[in-house]
Structure 1
Amino acid sequence: MKKNKTFVTTVIISSIVGFIVLLAAMFVGIKYFVTETVPKEPQKAIVNEVEDNNFYISITGVIRNLEEQSIDILDIEKREIKTYQVQTTTRVQDSTEKTMPYSALKVGDIVELIYQSQKDNLVCVRISPNAFTKTDMKNLDIDRSNRTLKIGSVLYHYTGHTNIVDEEDNIINMHEVNDYDILELKGIDDQVFSVKVLAREGYIHIGKLPIYDGYLEINRNRQVPLSEDMNPLPLVAGEHNVVLQLKGYEPITRTITIESGKTLELDHEEFKRLQTTLNIQVLNTDQDYKVKIKDKVYKKGEVITLPTDTYTVEITASGFKPYVQTLNLQEGNVVMKANLVSEVSEEEESSSESESKKEEQDNNQANQVDYKVSISSDPKDAEVYINGAYKGITPFKGTLEVGEYSIILKKEGYKNYETNILIDQSDDQNSYLYTLIPN
């Protein structure tokens, strides 16, 4: 009986010891399992480059290539490319840590990796929350020598390791990126780590023009002077409003669509000359007179319509000397006033000397009268020169005696405007408005 109790006691003690050993083994196993498992909060591993256990490494880089089971990453810090194997257990997350498919990743994305080096295990690929994406970037100021991109007033930098690809994700360099390409930029802070060409610049080709004195205006914010060697003219792909303006011709306004990498032919067959109506007023005689312009003769009172240009106008009337004046006719209506000079024989001139002197005195008195003059320009603030002398800026108001004057308007960025005006006794107010043409 005593032996039975001893046996039972031994069994009980052995069971208790075994149970304690089992609990200890379970505890060690659980601890080992937790240690070997991916951290519950991967973001902590990203913030800390290396965990205390030295198992998890955080890498920030740019995707250079994507395969079904591997991913090439340019390590931003080390400036080197490394290939990582993508496993079925690899998690893929967007910048908010939401799960996304592996196929949603793109070349050029800036990502953060959690990598378990001892096991060669890519734990997680996450779109970097610190990265920016700027898409549909147009008309960028690219300084290739200093490796900078200017967007508005903000300057961004790129390096020789920046990932630059064309529309087909082929690797290119910045010298292959055109000034009017449409780009997508990705980076962190003021550093650009990825550049993708979304659309290549297109071109306008302008055929032979009747003259090249003018400009092409694009979207009201860009003016290109016309020249024989301007073709092809690069433009951002897309829709544009253009105005083709030639001196002396009606402007052509169009809405055009430029396709990526293609050239649009802009024809010019519809150019029409601007017309000017010339109204001639002979002030000191009512008799008939004739006007001759470029071998064509017009009668008194006849409406004269001419294309805008520079003309020599000759007025003849019986008993008067021919009156000749050169006019630069611009768009609109032009009034030309003329005083004809009598034509007399020597005998008549001798016998009427006293009368001529009296008429001369009368004319001198008339010429001594000052008449108000107003000269304006569009745009304003143009320098005004009268007979070569600087008088001020537009709008200009002053007085002039009777007579003919040369007028020159000058403004930076615009062509000089030259014309002549005639001041006479017909009116005490002479107003002139001139439109300046950009260079």
Structure 2
Amino acid sequence: MPEHDYELVVRARRAITPDGERPVAIGVRGGRIAEIAGADVPLDGARTVQTAEDEVLLPGLVDSHVHVNEPGRTDWEGFASATRAAAAGGVTTIVDMPLNSIPPTTTVEGLRVKREAAEGQVAVDVGFWGGAVPENSAPGETGELSGLYEQGVYGFKSFLSPSGVDEFGHLTPELYRSAAAAIGELGGTIIVHAEDPGLLESAPAASGPEYASFLASRPDEAEHEAIRLVIETARETGTRSHILHLSTATALPMIEKAKADGVPLTVETCPHYLTIAAEEVPAGATQFKCCPPIRGAANRDALWRALADGVIDCVVSDHSPSTVDLKDLDTGDFGTAWGGVSGLQVGFSAVWSEASARGHSLADVVRWMASGPVRVAGLTGKGALAVGNDADFAVVAPEARTRIDARTLQHKNPLSAYDGRELTGVVRATYLRGDRIDPAAPKGRLLRRS
């Protein structure tokens, strides 16, 4: 007989559960939540964790949009550094994007190589998206999509405009429809970088240090028209479709209508679109460059309203780092700098800072940054303090403040759009399956779709 009923008991005066905020005592057995009781119930554990008066217990956050870049571009980021950053930010599960690594995750062999590179390095759990590219998406040539799905990827990412890297090509409308149909037949999800390439080509090219020049080069209309294609295709095929990193509010009415019509559509946005406005971006500050771009303050307000109303399903980082030199900080040229925001570690603090100022609760943030990404990716056992789920926890101090210093973040390269910002909400501890995460002894697992 075991000496104790539970290997761990966590007591919190404030915890965010599916039933709302309440005091709890949680019993953990075998790395899973076995019981959730009232805070004063005398559960017997071999170890006990009591949160402090100013702390709140959250489920481990989930980030379903992370570019780890290993292997091939490991100097941009890597599994060790990315998962350390995730853990420091209260994130216990990430899903890795299929591009910027070499090889990309567009073949079964590419997935094998990536898993091999990740093995033994990960401080949090890691799942993988596959990629839909011209080579595996034409009618009669979708065998690799089937193989990747059988090997447990959570779905397939596609681009409707150039991705920025040669080894991950974008899909024409015809190829996109072919890929979506094939993925639907598998029962899978297609996730889409939605910008129209023709409208991008016809827009004025970005050049120089003025952010307005870059913003004009990625017009709302390009995003809007590509999203129209995604909706039409989802309506025709019935394939679950997910719009990545929505930045434009102009597409919200047609997204809302599609959802009301029963189209199988989900949508994400990102912390940088919710917390930064185009008017605030200094000249030459290329750390703010990303595609699609950060837009104006009125657009940001509209994204918040859509998030509150459930039109937008979740908030994820789109952590897309690079080496410092690729950001062209010496010239500040938005036309030549790499596009991507590094924000994996600071996503919770950034979102909570803005959310609390707008009257939202921690329960809202958990819905957007834990249960929402779980639903989009099709993960199991994650994203909620619920019996049977993994004992993944984030202990946060919601009133504490911190000033971000990019040099002290766990990201491999010391560059962030949040550098110098004072944010509200500090992650004090992160637990994976009941064990406090120790970056020096990584115990994360590589996940497969069940």
> TM (normalized to structure 1)?
0.20
> TM (normalized to structure 2)?
0.20
Which protein, 1 or 2, shows the higher relative CO under an 8 Å CA cutoff with sep ≥ 6?
Answer: 2
Higher strand share: 1
Higher helix share: 2
